[in-house]
């Protein structure tokens, strides 16, 4: 062996040995650090992150660290870890996500820290259960308008069908009816650029823009559109709170108006990126379980009546009665939950016999937490009835359910999301008789961020009910 190679090997082994001894002496969780300095275990992890987490959990136990690209990510995969993640004052959400937000929409750190909490509280209030009655009627009308474009029958990708119904409707609700058209923007082009942006969002938020050419181009295009949209929303901003759009509330709350377009894009992404896949999975699960489909149809008919009406109105009262659909949504969100949500450890945190050091990124995997049989018996089975146990009237989820995050950082749009998906499912199944043309796809093992994506195609055949 060449002397230089031997020296390099000795240096790498020495470096790994020192890291291992230091970690042991400080009682840190076991660390998977790979053989390549700085890169660490990134290559193995990146091949299939969800599978990597499960293998590591089986090998090293419920708390372990993965060293990748110069950073330490400590995963907590059981109830106690979940509790610590959601409630510890020493784990910070803003510090963990700031850089991703900067990459995603070019909001600098200072502006982000100054505005995040205020915007969070505003959205939480505006989209709370007590305000949703203001939005149900318009979301119902928007969905029906978009369903008209599907025609009397067809065979399409279920994901594309859901997107075609949901994307323009939610854009109109959040930003103002036809605001993109008013500002002479093409909705189809907007949808295409948003799709590019959303498809690569997970990687692009971790890497410099020049590695992600197509994504960066779409981001630039979207930000430009939002300049117009924000200027229009500002000009037409009404004085009365209840008639403002969500974007107008964002603009009123922001301390730095020049970042209005950046926050507009962030809102568009947050409102669509999870709600579309959860709607897709809910329909796919319902249609691939005949007894569930039958129950859903009985519920839909008992609330909306026999099929055949061209225009239906779904009220807030109706939504309370469409309870089984709500259970199907939550059960689908449980089974296809985000691979990980993150916080940054600010002061050492004790968990089991370990000390997780300051500076680590704390990772909680809703996807794997939801597969804990202690919280969810027969976890792999789609069982909407398990949600009978919850008091949804009191806005409680099942213990261990973290598809919307946990603790004080839970998604502020969660009740709005559940409401819109409930309306979409009820209307779509009221209007169309549907059959899945492919088996229920598996989730792709490639994604950590957000609701899981389907691995293969899933087409649907639909025919308008007489």
Residues that bind ligand HEM (CB under 6 A): 93, 116, 120, 123, 127, 270-271, 274-275, 278, 333, 338, 341, 403-405, 409, 411-413, 416-417, 451
| CA separation for the pair 373, 389 (Å, rounded) | 16
Q: How far apart are CA 456 and CA 158, in angstroms?
A: 12
Nearer to ligand HEM, 33 or 172 (CB): 172
- The residue among 105, 45, 144, 150 whose CA lies nearest residue 361 is 45
Nearer to ligand HEM among residue 41 and residue 86 (C-beta): 86
Residue 411, marked binder: yes
Helices (H), 273-378: 275-287, 290-304, 316-321, 323-335, 366-369
Handedness of CA 112, 115, 121, 125 (dihedral sign): negative
Quote the least distance from Cβ 89 to ligand HEM, whole Å. 15
Residue 172 annotated in ligand binding: no
Other CB atoms within a 10 A radius of the CB of residue 348 amount to: 16
C-alpha 73/C-alpha 406 separation (Å) is 19
Q: How far is the CB of 451 from ligand HEM (least distance, A)?
A: 5
- In the structure encoding, which two tokens stand for residue 145, read together? 């308008």
Backbone angles phi, psi at 462, to 5 degrees: -130, 150
Nearer to ligand HEM, 92 or 433 (CB): 92
Closest to ligand HEM by CB, 66 vs 417, is 417
Rounded CA separation 251/254 (Å): 5
- DSSP letter for 387, please: G
Q: How far is the CB of 294 from ligand HEM (least distance, A)?
A: 25
Please, what is the minimum distance in Å from the beta carbon of residue 3 to ligand HEM?
50
CB of 112 to ligand HEM, least distance (A): 10
Q: Which is nearer to ligand HEM, 339 or 357 (CB)?
A: 339
Q: Cβ closer to ligand HEM: 33 or 451?
A: 451
209 DSSP assignment: G
Calculated CA dihedral for residues 53, 58, 61, 65, nearest 10 degrees = -30
Decide whether 293 or 416 has the Cβ nearer to ligand HEM: 416
Task: Give least dist CB 217 to ligand HEM, A.
Answer: 25
Could you tell me the smallest distance in angstroms from the CB atom of residue 125 to ligand HEM?
12
Pick between residue 199 and residue 433 the one whose CB is nearest to ligand HEM.
199
The answer to whether residues 198 and 218 touch, using CB atoms and an 8 Å cutoff, is no
Query: What is the bridge-based pairing of β-strands 432-436 and 341-345?
Result: unpaired
Closer residue to ligand HEM in complex, CB, 301/399: 399
Give, as one character, the DSSP assignment of residue 358.
T
Q: How far apart are CA 81 and CA 324, in angstroms?
A: 31
Q: At closest approach, how far in Å is the CB of 172 from ligand HEM?
A: 13
Cβ pair 399, 386 in contact under 8 A? no
Q: Minimum distance from CB of 270 to ligand HEM (Å)?
A: 4
Alpha-carbon distance 295 to 293, whole Å?
Answer: 5
Q: How far apart are CA 337 and CA 141, in angstroms?
A: 29
Cα(116)–Cα(275) distance, integer angstroms = 21
Largest CA distance in the chain: 82
Q: Which residue positions form the known binding site?
A: 274, 411
Query: Which residues are documented as binding site for heme?
Result: 411
Annotated binding site for substrate: 274
């Amino acid at each position: 062996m060449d002397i230089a190679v031997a020296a390099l090997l000795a240096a790498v082994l020495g470096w790994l040995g020192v890291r291992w001894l230091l970690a042991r002496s400080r009682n840190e969780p076991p660390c998977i650090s790979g053989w390549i300095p700085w890169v660490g275990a990134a290559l193995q992890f990146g091949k299939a992150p969800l599978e990597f987490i499960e293998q590591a959990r089986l090998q090293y136990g419920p708390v372990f660290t993965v060293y990748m690209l110069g950073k330490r990510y400590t995963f907590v995969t059981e109830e106690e870890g979940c509790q610590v993640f959601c409630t510890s004052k020493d784990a910070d959400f803003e510090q963990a996500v700031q850089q991703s937000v900067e990459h995603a929409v070019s909001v600098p750190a200072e502006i982000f820290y100054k505005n995040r909490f205020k915007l969070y509280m505003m959205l939480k209030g505006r989209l709370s259960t007590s305000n949703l009655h203001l939005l149900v009627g318009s979301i119902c009308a928007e969905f029906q308008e978009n369903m008209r474009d599907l025609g009397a029958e067809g065979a399409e990708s279920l994901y594309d069908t859901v997107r075609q119904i949901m994307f323009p409707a939610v854009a109109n609700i959040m930003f103002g009816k036809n605001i993109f058209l008013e500002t002479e923007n093409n909705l189809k082009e907007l949808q295409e650029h948003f799709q590019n942006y959303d498809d690569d969002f997970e990687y692009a938020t971790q890497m410099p823009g020049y590695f992600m050419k197509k994504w960066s181009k779409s981001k630039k295009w979207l930000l430009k559109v939002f300049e117009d949209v924000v200027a229009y929303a500002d000009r037409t901003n009404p004085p009365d709170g209840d008639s403002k759009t969500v974007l107008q509330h964002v603009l009123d709350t922001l301390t730095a108006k020049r970042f209005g377009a950046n926050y507009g894009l962030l809102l568009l992404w947050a409102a669509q990126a999870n709600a579309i896949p959860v709607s897709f999975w809910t329909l796919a699960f319902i249609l691939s379980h005949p007894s569930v489909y039958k129950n859903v149809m009985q519920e839909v008919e008992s609330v909306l009546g026999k099929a055949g009406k061209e225009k239906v109105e779904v009220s807030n009262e109706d939504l309370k009665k469409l309870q089984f659909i709500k259970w199907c949504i939550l059960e689908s969100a449980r089974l296809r939950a985000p691979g990980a949500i993150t916080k940054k450890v600010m002061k050492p945190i004790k968990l089991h016999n370990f000390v997780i050091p300051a500076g680590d990124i704390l990772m909680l995997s809703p996807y794997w937490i939801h597969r804990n049989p202690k919280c969810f018996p027969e976890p792999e089975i789609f069982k909407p009835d398990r949600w009978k146990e919850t008091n949804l009237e009191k806005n409680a989820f099942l213990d261990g359910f973290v598809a919307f995050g946990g603790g004080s950082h839970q998604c502020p749009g969660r009740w709005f999301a559940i409401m819109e998906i409930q309306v979409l499912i009820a209307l779509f199944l009221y209007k169309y008789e549907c059959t899945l043309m492919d088996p229920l796809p598996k989730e792709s093992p490639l994604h950590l961020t957000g609701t899981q994506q389907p691995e293969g195609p899933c087409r649907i055949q639909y025919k308008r009910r007489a």
